[in-house]
Structure 1
């Protein structure tokens, strides 16, 4: 793990980013205390497809109907 202070990180950011991209653990510190870590960006495996749960989930027609007292509490109309 490489720990660098803020000033050094600003001065050598391109080099530090490259080291992180290659898998090195780069930590940026301020006044000796770690505050950030540079990590490589990972790409998503594949785009998500719509409809993946189609046919697996059932929802009642009245799933969003609440008893009047519960609805009033959500709307801030408590007695």
Structure 2
């Protein structure tokens, strides 16, 4: 399922969404004033377009793998 909803940057597929998440998370982790961040939606909402799972409760694998790996790596970096 393509991700084309504004105002967020559009992505052609879930792999691009994962790359976008990684860039977003790394940018925030580099800022000393940032205490954390969150992902707003668990299930995909066709009008909003930013869930971790599709409307049928299936995870977007390329996206969720990127989120998991990014968070694990950044946690180790930030927490030591």
Pick the TM interval, shorter chain. Answer: under 0.3
Rg comparison, structure with higher value = 1
Instruction: Kindly indicate which of the two structures has a greater share of residues assigned to strand.
Output: 1
TM-score (norm: length of structure 2): 0.28
Relative to total residues, which structure has the larger helix share, 1 or 2? Answer: 2
